[in-house]
Structure formats: C-alpha cells, structure tokens
Chain A
Amino acid sequence: MNPLLTDELRNEPPEKLAVHHVSKTFHTAHGPVAALDNVSLHVREGEFVCLVGPSGCGKTTLLNIVAGLERPDRGEVLADGKPVRGPGRDRMVMFQEPALFPWLDVLGNVLFGLKLKPKLTSAQRREVALFYLQLVGLEKFIHANIHELSGGMKQRTALARALAPNPRVLLMDEPFASLDAMTREQLYGDLQRIWSERKKTIVFVTHNVREAVCLGDRVILFSPRPGRIREEFAIPLPRPRDINSVDVAQYATEITQALKRANLPEHTS
C-alpha cells in the first residue's frame, strides 16, 4: 500500500513528544562521559512509555532533556511540535531523588506549582490541590510534614505535586524504586487509574522489567553507555493490569532476555 495512505488510514493520535537524534556527553574531571548517543523516540498523546536499561545508560539524562532541565549536544526535542527550550508546566517531573520541599507541609508542596499558575484564586488553588491529594489518597495527611511520611506517602505527595499543575506529560524517573512490593503494587493500580482518568502522556523510567510491562503501552530497551535505543516492545495487554499476572510475566521474561543480550558489550551482538 502507498505509505501515505497507510498513515491516513491508521488515524493515530497526534505526536506528543518527539526526540530527534539526541546526543549528550558530560565533560567530567575524569574525561568525557557519553551518556546518550543518537536517541530518537516518539511518544503519542495519551501513551504510557516505559524506558528500561542498565544503570548509567542515560535514562535520567534523557528525561532531563525532555523536561528541558538539560540541553542536548546534538538533536532536539519537540513537545507538541514545538522545540523544548526549557522546563515548562506542560511537562512535569517526578525525580529519582527525593525532591519534596521539607520546609513545606504536604499541602504546601502540592500548592507550590499551583501558586505559580496565574489566573487562579487562592481558594481555587486549594481546591485543586485537595483534589489531587484525594486522588493519591492523602486527604488525611494534608498538614503532615514531609519527614513524617512513609516512603510510599512521599511518592504519592510527589505524584500529586507533579499532577497539580495539570501537565499533559508526566516524566517519572524510577518513582517507586525504593518502595516495598506491597506499596508498589498499590501504586501501580493508582497510577494506571490516574493515567486513564486524567488522560496523561507518561514517560516512565525503571529498572524493573515487570513494572515496565505492567504499566507501559510500549517498553523501550536501552543499551549500556552510551545510551542507545536497543529494542522496542509493544505490550498490547488489556488494562488494568496486575503485576502478578501470567501475561505480564511472559512479556517480562522475553524482555529480560533481550536486556541480558543488551548488557553484553556492543560488538559481541
């Protein structure tokens, strides 16, 4: 068939994020570190994409570049077709490190981004913040201090803070890595629910292949440093998915094997 016609007939949702041939090298005291090498990635509106790869392969770097916190050496990132020049409220980040502000309580943290949104009264801001705190199940802890929260509650707060400015895109960097299995499973359910209710586009970084399969429409596999996209897997499983289901396990096994191959040095494969 004519490729133009195929495109017409597929009727795909518009492209939300486009990463075009991005490369990034850090210059450190020990010499240059190539973090990303010619990475291209396309994410559709409303898609849930998981990035998996060995430690140090540049996943965080890629997320930072998409967030506009870091500039690529080569290539560019488009969000809604427009080049990313810096951070924007349309792309919120949940960081790998704890990034909640300890001088604010839970509500204060969620309000921080909202207060920077013009054209809202303070009553409306509060209402929005409470809505998202309820969405993540923290309505009873709005005045708790950050250090009083459990690890899972901290991540829920961070999620509410990232959701509050109503970004179209969520960039999540191993948000559940430090949590116990029970809490994590709960959060998988919550995240899938929020994602479908709020119609977000999510790019989710993880080391955990099962987690990636459970959450993602697509799982993208990175090769070791310098990060390149190695393989891509579509996960056409129905939702909501259970991390312990057989289907998820099957896909996970397949990807884990590919990951093992990817972990070998480049020239042997």
Chain B
Amino acid sequence: MKRWLVAVSFFVVATALWEWLVRRGIWSPVLVPSPLDVGRYLITAAEDGTLLQATMVTLRRLVVGYVVSLVVGLPLGLVTARFAVCQDTLGLVALGLQTLPSVCWAPLALLWFGQTEGSMLFIVIMGSLWSVLLATTAGVQSVPPIYLRAARTMGSRGVHTWLKVILPASLPFVVSGMKQGWAFAWRSLMAAEIYVTILTGFGLGHLLHYGRELHAMDAVLGIMLVIIAIGLLADKLLFARAERWLHHRWGTGAL
C-alpha cells in the first residue's frame, strides 16, 4: 500500500513538473507537448474509436505472431538441445538471426508476401522466434543430470521425461526466453508498422507514423504512452505472475 502510494505520487509530481516546464516556456510546446494536450488527444482518439481500433489491430498481429513463435520455437528449442546435428545447424542459424534486428527483413517480407498481414507477421515472428528457441535450448541443456537419473529410477521414459522433467526443470530459462521473445515481438511490430504500410489495418505504429507526418507531437507522445502501457500491462498480467510463481517454487529471487 505504501509503495503504491509512492509510485502514484512520483508520477503525479513528474507530470506536474512537465506541465509547469511547458507552461513557463522552458520546454517549447512545439518540441514537447504539454501533458494536458497529450491527454486531450488520447481522449478524442479514444472517443472517435481510432485508438481502440488501432490497438486491436496491433494486438492481434502481436498475439498471433507471438503465439506462432512459441508454438514453433519451443519444440525447435527442444530438438536443438536434443540432437547435436540440430545444435550445429539450427542452433547456429538461430544465434545469428537473433542478433539481426527483424525490421531488416521488411524489404524481403514485402517482396515475398506483398503489403499483407503475412509480411507483418513474418517480421514479428523473425523478431521473437529465435530468443524463444535459444532460451529453450539453454534451459534444456542446463537441466541437472541428477533429475534425469532420479526420474529414470522412478520409471519415467521418453516423452514422459520430456514433458514432466526436462520441460519443467528448464522453466526458469523458458519463461525468461518467452519474456524476451515478447519484448522482441513488440519492438519488431512497431518497427514494421512504422516502416511498412499495410492496407488491411492501421495499427498503433501507423498512427505514430502519421503523427510524425502531421507534426502532431501530442499524438506521437500519446501513442507512445499507449504502447508503454500495453507493454507494462502484458508484463504484469502474464510474465510477472509466471516469474512470481517460479520464484515461489524454486526459492529464487528472495529480494
């Protein structure tokens, strides 16, 4: 309760300071819109539905791309950890592609898929797939062999060992990989939406882009705030819970 109060007052004071700096003309309103202007933009955009629509378009792309990354990345990560051949081939490819900002795929994606949702998804998947895959591999390879021996004596074999021992034992790695994958998916999508115009739906990235074209910095900042809010919300709703559970079970992260 007390920490909550501290957090709220921090943001209230910061916003008030910002407003004051703009009013006094210390920060030019052309360069930095006042928080009231940003708020006004957000309210109108929310009322006429553009904000909600853009958010839904963006979220749909994000979720679909991310889920595909998980569905493909987790098993591929397991396979990569299991077979040396995959480690030497797929593992290396993943390692290389993870370092590539996925917006670099945009020219090729447009060529292959045209201005469609497909190319958008492709960029998102290229952004998040590799970190999910690599984290899963690292997780599996860090499972203490004693767990596997113990499981074998109790009669666990094959698929059962993979599902009931290796996967849960590597969960701390897998969850942090999923979190990283989510962050990369989000970044990739914003880059892609700013970079690529897709006729099938205007996402938050497009709104940001138009804000820049029209030099409506209140819109740009407003959209940025929405993007931050969604990121925070996803973290608190999805990953923070999973991590809390992991810490609780494993007894890690006592502070």
Contacts and interface: CB of A to CB of B under 8 A. Distances in A.
B118 interface: no
Given A101-B165, A101-B169, A93 B248 contact: no
Contact of A95 (B146, B164, B248): B146
A224 interface: no
Given A101-B165, A101-B168, A101-B169, A116 B147 contact: no
Contacts of A97: 144, 146
B171 interface: yes
A117 B155 contact: yes
B212 interface: no
Given A145-B249, A147-B251, A112 B149 contact: no
A127 B247 CA distance: 29
Judged by DSSP, the binding face of B is helix
A253 B160 CA distance: 48
Interface in A52-100: 64, 67-69, 86-89, 91-93, 95, 97-99
Nearest to A116: B155
Contacts of B164: 112
A93 B169 contact: no
Interface string B75-89: 000000000000000
A113 interface: yes
Interface residues of B, number: 21
Contacts, number: 69
Contacts of B168: 101, 103-104
B156 interface: yes
B239 to A, nearest CB: 17
Nearest to A100: B150
A165 interface: yes
Contacts of A88: 153, 155
A165 B150 CA distance: 13
Contacts of A146: 251
A134 B129 CA distance: 47
B152 interface: yes
A145 B251 contact: yes
Interface string B237-254: 000000000001111000
B154 interface: yes
A93 B251 CA distance: 25
A120 to B, nearest CB: 13
Interface in B130-180: 144, 146-147, 149-156, 160, 164-165, 168-169, 171
Contacts of B171: 103
A92 B153 contact: yes
A99 B251 contact: no
Nearest to A86: B152
Interface of A: 64, 67-69, 86-89, 91-93, 95, 97-99, 101-105, 112-113, 116-117, 145-148, 161, 165
Given A93-B149, A93-B153, A102-B250, 11 more contacts: A67-B153, A69-B149, A69-B153, A87-B152, A92-B153, A95-B150, A98-B146, A101-B169, A112-B164, A145-B250, A147-B249
Interface of B: 144, 146-147, 149-156, 160, 164-165, 168-169, 171, 248-251
26 contacts: A67-B153, A86-B152, A88-B153, A88-B155, A89-B153, A92-B153, A92-B154, A93-B150, A95-B146, A95-B149, A97-B146, A99-B146, A99-B149, A101-B150, A101-B165, A105-B249, A112-B151, A112-B156, A112-B164, A113-B154, A116-B156, A145-B250, A146-B251, A147-B250, A165-B154, A165-B155
